[in-house]
Amino acid sequence: MSATEPLIDVIAGARPNFMKIAPILRALQARQAAGGRLRARLVHTGQHYDERMSGDFFRQLGIPDPDVNLEVGSGTQAEQTAAIMTRYEQLLLQARSDVCLVVGDVTSTMACAIAAQKLRVPVAHVEGGIRSGDWGMPEEINRLVTDAITNWFFTTSEVANANLRKAGVGDERIFFVGNTMIDTLLANLPQLRAPAFWADAGLQAGGYFVMTLHRPANVDDPQGFARLLRAVGEATAGLPVVFPVHPRTAKTLAALPDKPAGLRLVDPQPYLEFNYLVRHAKGVITDSGGVTEETTVLGVPCVTLRDTTERPETVSIGTNELIGTDPAALKPALQRLLAGRWKKGAIPEKWDGRTGERIAEHLERLLQP
């Protein structure tokens, strides 16, 4: 460890990581420019590698090129975990860092945390402490394992703080800082822009839905997925449904005999286009967690096709509602939405655009010689 310039590995692997690291890197750079001691090393694991799942986000969000790319690519959960651990361990053995900072709950988050902690490199987890309670989701396993070996928790909510305390984590290791994903959203609001297909598709503000689906429970079984898509078509009252298709979902979709009418299938959208679509939508139908945070801040009604959420504040405070995975629940929910009887929602505490700065400030203090 360098006594003067602590090196922080900032880990990113999959799409939902990129918007979370951007404000942290910016805050660390700003401190460095102002004479601060911390240095960042950006490590991309390569879990997501397409331009559409990765490169576009780096460009649009002004994230610098990674210092290191582990290039792990696709695989099963265990294959990806093993490849990331092996390659990240190599990196640490060659050039050790002083902190491994991981964000969110993807495979890369857990794998790097394990490799680092085994070499006694302290782990900082941004978005630590959130829990869905559903062990059927790989992300929940990633959260549990990561948090079990995390030194410093940067949290998004009081619920997360309470979960950590319940697990025996002392208050001196919990830092309630807010939501870095929302830093990125607020910083980019003026830059949001309509996708190229906006006019062609005849889209108008408030006149369409946006849908994202990629959870195995919703998309891996072709028959169940087809039933779900039919229900969406029936419940959306003829309004267009813009559906940016995740690579996992595309595989099942390609196997369906007939494509559902009314759905506007598009490629995964870059950040600025995707959030433009969300901001101007009548409502959003999703099984993502991050999207429910963005709809909460944008005040857009959000229908989540899951039984549980690790982000309960999007329901208790925000515009999100969980309707489960039974397609029959869509119709009554969307009828309420279309009739204008959806809750208005408010913005959770500290989701204010300053979270990256708070994290950098804490790190500077924690890493004092």
Q: Which is closer to ligand UD1, CB of 54 or CB of 304?
A: 54
Q: Which is closer to ligand UD1, CB of 31 or CB of 214?
A: 214
**Cα–Cα dist 38/10, whole Å:** 12
**Cα–Cα dist 74/23, whole Å:** 27
Is 81 buried (19+), middle (13-18) or exposed (0-12) by CB count in 10 A? buried
Nearest to 300 by CA among 274, 325, 326, 327: 274
Q: How far is the CB of 214 from ligand UD1 (least distance, A)?
A: 5
Q: Which amino acid is at 250?
A: A
Helix (H, G, I), strand (E, B) or coil at 326: coil
Report the 10 Å Cβ neighbour count for 107: 25
| Residue 160 CA from chain centroid, whole number | 16
| Residue 73 CA from chain centroid, whole number | 19
Q: How far is the CB of 101 from ligand UD1 (least distance, A)?
A: 17
Q: Which is closer to ligand UD1, CB of 215 or CB of 354?
A: 215
Q: How far is the CB of 80 from ligand UD1 (least distance, A)?
A: 7
Q: How far is the CB of 90 from ligand UD1 (least distance, A)?
A: 21
**Cα–Cα dist 182/316, whole Å:** 18
Q: Which is closer to ligand UD1, CB of 233 or CB of 247?
A: 247
Q: Which is closer to ligand UD1, CB of 84 or CB of 116?
A: 84
Q: Which is closer to ligand UD1, CB of 76 or CB of 94?
A: 76
Point out the catalytic residue in the list 125, 214, 246, 280: 214
Contact between residue 68 and residue 90 where contact means Cβ atoms under 8 Å apart: no
Footprint on this chain of ligand UD1 (rule: CB under 6 A): 14-16, 47-50, 53-54, 74, 105-107, 138-139, 214, 246-248, 288
**Cα–Cα dist 182/267, whole Å:** 24
Q: How far is the CB of 184 from ligand UD1 (least distance, A)?
A: 15
Is 172 buried (19+), middle (13-18) or exposed (0-12) by CB count in 10 A? exposed
Question: What own/partner pairs with CB < 8 Å and gap ≥ 24 does 187-193 have?
Answer: 187/23, 187/353, 188/60, 188/61, 188/271, 188/272, 188/275, 189/279, 191/60, 191/272, 192/272, 192/273, 192/275, 192/276, 192/279, 193/272, 193/273, 193/276
Q: How far is the CB of 47 from ligand UD1 (least distance, A)?
A: 5
Instruction: Tell me whether residue 214 is one of the annotated catalytic residues.
Output: yes
For the chain, the first-to-last Cα distance in angstroms comes to 10
Q: Which is closer to ligand UD1, CB of 6 or CB of 104?
A: 104
Q: How far is the CB of 168 from ligand UD1 (least distance, A)?
A: 26
Indicate which residues carry an active-site annotation.
214
